[in-house]
Amino acid sequence: MAEAGTGERKIKVLIVDDSAIVRKLLTEALAGEADMEVVGTAPDPYIARDKILSLRPDVLTLDIEMPRMDGLTFLQKLMRFHPMPVVVISSLGQASSKIAIEAMQCGAVEVLAKPGGPYSVGELRHDLPHKLRAAAYARPKKAVSPAPVVPPPVPAGYAAANPATVIAIGASTGGTEAIREVLVALPASSPGIVVVQHIPPVFSNAFAQRLNDLCQIQVREAVDGDRLTPGLALVAPGNFHMTLAKRGGEYRVAVHDGPRVCYQRPSVDVLFDSVAAAAGSDAIAALLTGMGSDGAQGLLKLKRTGARTIAQDEASSVVFGMPGEAIRLGAADRVLPLNRISGELMALSALATR
């Protein structure tokens, strides 16, 4: 086992992609990372299977479109028999993006775009090590069929959301499925919802479309100037910050460029800070699974303005970094397992209508 310069164990990475050029680019993108080691590469899932057993990598990068066996089928088998952290590396086509989001449902913990077109090799060198570090901390579980969604009971006396109430949700590693579990259980009469999930461009739109197909509420990728209304969830586009403002008694979002915050764009802190300023005590916020600390300071700011705040607990988090940091700061009013967060959001929303 190789050792990093600090004496800590290196993260062992196996790269699985049918393109020799992509395998070379990914390997070179990690060459300067002192805490990582590419222990092998594989051009297809059959060779990858043998190398997983012989090399015992900590994390796998996985292409979706491959010969002999497609990446999604391989991922399903892998998560059933040998669950491990997987980062999907996908092309940016619409069909590929949808399959990449499906891969997250099957157990992949992160998704990243292949270099080419709008996504440069320079961005890959920045994003790939971060994604792999986050994945290495993940606790993947054996794939199981999703349980039927049982929406929490609508609180007594709750008919429609108070239009002043806003729900803000932030997540990163493991968050696509966590957000799905929360939103799919909410009724169409829910307050307006703003969501930041750390996810690359194009994939964020596929993510929002998939949620819209599954949820009772409407879900779409945010566009600059969108009005936030009850029964609507707006997802921040990849590589853009999203903020909320209140004008003339209604909420609108702004989508804009800007420096990364906590290494992220979109940033949960950027969203939460704006929600604190726009909605204050009318806000309800939940910080879900994710690597790092993005959102923790924003959740604390929300709590200090009178908002109701929730952090996902450690046992149900794929990575406990973001909610754990919020709890350490005292930013969370409630610490809940994922399967109780939807019900708590509705209960708190009901209090806002009284």
Same domain, 79 and 185: no
Does 144 map to a domain?
Answer: no
Domain extent for 48: 11-136
CATH number at residue 56: 3.40.50.2300
Which of 136, 151, 186 marks a domain boundary?
A: 136
**In terms of Cα–Cα distance, which of 74, 129, 132 is closest to 107?**
74
pLDDT of 266 strictly over 80:
yes
Specify the higher pLDDT residue, 14 or 145: 14
Does 344 map to a domain?
Answer: yes
pLDDT of 1 strictly over 50:
no
pLDDT 10s digits, 276-321: 999 999 999 999 999 999 999 999 999 999 999 999 999 999 999 9
Same domain, 128 and 173: no
Please give the pLDDT value at position 350.
Answer: 86
Give the CA angle between residues 92, 287, 285 to the nearest 5°: 110
Does 218 map to a domain?
Answer: yes
Does 48 map to a domain?
Answer: yes
pLDDT 10s digits, 290-300: 999 999 999 99
Please give the pLDDT value at position 5.
Answer: 43
Which of 90, 118, 136 marks a domain boundary?
A: 136
Please give the pLDDT value at position 343.
Answer: 92
Does 255 map to a domain?
Answer: yes
pLDDT of 7 strictly over 60:
no
pLDDT of 153 strictly over 60:
yes
Does 184 map to a domain?
Answer: yes
Which of 3-12, 324-333, 336-345 has the weakest average pLDDT?
3-12
Please give the pLDDT value at position 6.
Answer: 44
Distance CA 137, CA 59 (A): 9
Catalytic residue numbers, as ranges = 172, 198, 294
Distance CA 212, CA 221 (A): 10
Confidence of residue 351 (pLDDT cuts 50, 70, 90): confident
CATH number at residue 346: 3.40.50.180
Helix axes 175-183, 94-105, angle to 10 degrees: 80
Q: Count of domains in the chain?
A: 2
Confidence of residue 325 (pLDDT cuts 50, 70, 90): very high
pLDDT 10s digits, 37-95: 999 999 999 999 999 999 999 999 999 888 888 889 999 999 999 999 999 998 766 67
Confidence of residue 160 (pLDDT cuts 50, 70, 90): confident
Single-letter amino acid code for the residue at 66: M
Element housing 201 (H / E): none
Same domain, 189 and 89: no
Distance CA 11, CA 140 (A): 16
Same domain, 75 and 198: no
Confidence of residue 147 (pLDDT cuts 50, 70, 90): low
DSSP 288-353: -S-SSSTTHHHHHHHHHTT-EEEEE-TTT-SS-HHHHHHHHHT--SEEE-HHHHHHHHHHHHHHHT
Same domain, 205 and 67: no
Element housing 105 (H / E): helix 94-105
Same domain, 180 and 306: yes
pLDDT of 217 strictly over 70:
yes
Q: What is the mean pLDDT of residues 145-154?
A: 60
**In terms of Cα–Cα distance, which of 349, 321, 339 is closest to 157?**
349
Does 210 map to a domain?
Answer: yes
The whole-model pTM stands at 0.91
pLDDT 10s digits, 164-204: 999 999 999 999 999 999 999 999 999 999 999 999 888 99
